Structure formats: structure tokens, C-alpha cells
Amino acid sequence: MRHNINSDIALTHIITRKRQTLVAALGVTLGVGVYLFMNSLTSGFSSFSRDEMFKNSAHIKIYKDDELSQPLVPSAGSGHITVIVNPQVTTLSKKIINPEQLLSTIKQQPFVVNAISQVSFDAFYNRGKAQISGDCSGVNILDYDAMFKTSKYIVGGSLNRLQGNLNGIIIGSGIAEKLNLGIDDNITVTSSYNVVKVMKIVGIFTTGSSLTDNAKSYMNISTAQQFIKEGPSYVSNIFINIPDPNKSEEYAASLQQLTPYKVEDWKTTNADVLASGKTRDVLMSSIAMSILVVAAFGIYNILSSTIAQKINDIAILKATGFAGRDVIRIFLMEALIMGLIGTLIGLIIGAVLIEIMSNIYMGGPVGYFPIRFEPALFAKSFGLGVFITLCAGYFPARKAARVDPVEIFRK
């Protein structure tokens, strides 16, 4: 291997100036460590809250939206606009017509991972005089489980017992507790259409979210249709899962081509939650980023002072035949070494912080703090740490490359 004199010189500078190297590296360590940690925090939390969302809502849902009354006669020619003063919602029913066919068309789309239909209605759970209001979903429970992993939350009974059991119901643990009911007990369910049925509890679930646990129940589709006095062709929602939830807008758009009903992706449904999440992410990233930038200034400073002190050496090197680009390489290499040392230690520190954080129990539905080792974030922090030190090193290095040896020797 040919000896590289540039890296030789850079290494010697680094080694003979251990203290400065360490100070510069520690700046980067701090920056990279905090960057990695904070991004892991936000990323862990985002994916946690997204998982929470996907517990009950699919990537994309199709439903019949309310429509406003439209003029029967279109505006005749320009200059005239036909308007309805005080238009009304004209939706008579929320029903999707011919849902079977729509569902099978959707399932034929190559990108659709899973699609199910659901009949939902507002329900009242009664036992004696006690009453709880909530909502009930009529679903094919096994298909539903495939999409929402409901079986994970079952604490009593089983999903299978609902299959084909038109009288069965699975309720949230909050309902069970309040009404003091257990598996195989009877529960009276009333709908707003005044249909009353006594159902048998075949399963109880706990998701950890009291909102769900205190209100939600599942039954078969046909039973739900009876509760709202509708026939077997009535469906209130179609839920669709896609391979990559991040691209839900595109998939929603192409599904919208297939149906006149409203196709809504989860981002639209959860826009408010996502927006506040995004605000939090941006906030955290900018704090982490500014710490990195400060670290970069450390490198810039130390390299600048190295160069100021070594200006005679630089002049000598240039006099003996080192070109400007060699000088740039020497000092960039120094920045890179400082940056690499700092970045690697920073990654270790970040990892330790993540490990500690992931062992902190938050309680409630969250459990342990939702933070994980994400290789992509490690790679990103590494890349950013190195990139930022190279940028910080480039400017002093370029200044060094422009040193005019004649000017130095005249002094």
C-alpha cells in the first residue's frame, strides 16, 4: 500500500493535540447522543400513538358521507348561478348500496392487504336498571381480528365463540366491570332504533384505553343489521389495510376511482392528532439539530485555532510541494477523525439513554416507555454527525489551503 502522507500528518496533529481533539469530539458526542436520543423518543412515541390509532381504525375507510342538496337544474349559461338558499343534508341513510360487490372489487386491488365491512351503531348496555351507552360493531370477528389484532386484548372467553353465534357479544372490560358481568352472563343491548336483545357474553377484552374498554362491543354483522332494522345488504363502513400506511393518500385516491362513496385515509381521519404529533417532532428535531450545530461550531473553532497555530507548518508544506487540495485533505481528515470519535461515542451514549428510557414504566395503556433501537435512526445520526463535522471542517481547511507561503516567510 502506498503511504499516504496527508493522513499521516493529520493523525500526528490529532495525536499531538489530544486535548483539543477530545474537546471537539465531546461536542459532537453530546450533539449526536442527544440527537439520537430525542429522535428515538419522538419516533417511538409516534409509532406508539399510530399503533393506538390502528387499534380501532383501518388505514383507509369507505363510508357514505353526508350530502347537501343540489340544484336540480344546472346553471344555464354564463352569468347565471343557480343556488339553493339554506341547503339541507339530503342523506337519508348512511348505507352503502351493494357492499358485497364493492368489497370484492376492493379486495381484487393488488395493493389491498385486507378489507372488511362493518355495521356500527350506538348501543345501550343494560343490566337491571343500570345502563351504559356505547357503540357496537357488527363484524366478521375473524376478519376483524386479522386487521386489528383484537385477540391480543381478549382477557376472557374467545373470539372463536362469536363466530356463527348470532346471540353472542364481546364486550369491553369496563362495561363488564360496571355492570358486574362475566363470561356466559346475559346482557341486554338496546339500539337507538328501539331494538332490544338479550345477548350472551362470549368474550371480554381490555385494550388499556378506557374510552374503548368502557364503550365498545362486537357482534356478528347480521345481528347488528337487525339492531338497526336493516337488511343484509346494509354496511356502514368498509375498512381497508394497505402495505405502507405512509402512502395512504395515494391508495385512497386510487380507491376513490372505484366508488362514489367517501374514501378517507387514516391521516385525514386523524389529522388533528397527526398535526400535534408533527409539531412535537419538529420541535424535538430542531432542539436536537441545534445542539448538533453547536457541536459543529466546536469543531470549527478548534480546527480554526489549530490552523492559526500551524500556519508556518502549512507554509512549509506548501513550499515543499503540497497543493491546496492536500492541505484541505489534511484538515478535513482531522475534522473527520474528531467527528468519527465523537459520533461513535455519541451513538453509544444515545443507545445507553434509550436502554434506560425503555426500562422506565409509564403505567396505564402505555406500559414501558415506547422507545426502541431503530437502526435507521442510528444510521441517520451517524451520517449527520459525520456530515456536520465535515462541513464544519471544510471552511477552516479551505482557509488553510489558501495560505500564501510567501506572506508567512516574509514575517
Partner 1 sequence: MEKREVILSTRSLGKYFYDPIKFKVLDNISFNAYKGEFLTLVGKSGSGKSTLLYCLSTMDTSYEGELFIGQERVTGKKVNELAALRNRSIGFIFQFHYLLPEFSCLKNVMIPALKLGKYSYKEVEERAYSKLDVLGIRDQALKPAAKLSGGQQQRVAIARALINDPAIIMCDEPTGNLDSRNTRIVFDIFKQIAHEFGQTIIAVTHDNDFAEASDRTIELADGKIISHDKNFDTYL
Site residues for partner 1 per CB under 8 A: 2-3, 5, 8-9, 12-13, 16, 312-313, 315-326, 404-406, 409-410
- Give the Å distances, CA to CA, from 345 to 122, 135, 158, 196, 217: 56, 52, 49, 66, 51
Rounded least distance, CB 389 to partner 1, Å: 22
Nearer to partner 1, 88 or 320 (CB): 320
The type of residue at 155 is V
166 and 222 Cβ atoms separated by less than 8 Å: yes
Q: Do the Cβ atoms of 155 and 203 come closer than 8 Å?
A: no
* 278 CB neighbour count, 10 Å cutoff: 12
Cα–Cα distance for residue pair 171/208, rounded to 1 Å = 14
Residue 320 beta carbon to partner 1: minimum distance, rounded to whole angstroms: 4
User: From CA 404, how far away is CA 409, in angstroms rounded?
Assistant: 9
Closest CB 304 distance from partner 1, rounded Å: 18
Which triple of cell numbers denotes residue 79? 352569468
**Least Å from the CB of residue 278 to partner 1:** 49
Q: How far is the CB of 408 from partner 1 (least distance, A)?
A: 9
Query: Cβ closer to partner 1: 91 or 312?
Result: 312
For the bound state, the minimum distance from the C-beta of residue 14 to partner 1, rounded and expressed in Å, comes to 10
DSSP H stretches of helix in 110-182 = 141-148, 173-178
Whichever of 228 and 315 has its CB closer to partner 1, that residue is: 315
Q: 13 vs 64, which CB is nearer to partner 1?
A: 13
Q: Which is nearer to partner 1, 111 or 409 (CB)?
A: 409
Q: Which of 336, 328, 326 is nearest to 398 (CA)?
A: 328
Residue 249 is inside which H or E element, if any?
helix 248-256
Q: Which is nearer to partner 1, 208 or 405 (CB)?
A: 405
Q: Nearer Cβ to partner 1, position 192 or 312?
A: 312
- To partner 1, the closest distance from the beta carbon of 388 in angstroms equals 27
Residue 119 vs 401, nearer CB to partner 1: 401
User: Cα–Cα distance between 107 and 111 in angstroms, integer?
Assistant: 9
Q: Say if CB 267 and CB 249 are below 8 A apart.
A: yes
Nearest residue to 126 (alpha-carbon basis) of 223, 217, 228: 217
Q: Cβ of residue 271: shortest distance to partner 1, in angstroms? A: 57
**Could you tell me the smallest distance in angstroms from the CB atom of residue 3 to partner 1?**
4
DSSP string, 56-89: HS-SEEEEPPP-B---SSPP-STT-----SS--B
* Nearer CB in complex with partner 1: 10/219: 10
Number of helices (H) and strands (E) in the chain: give both, helices first: 14, 12
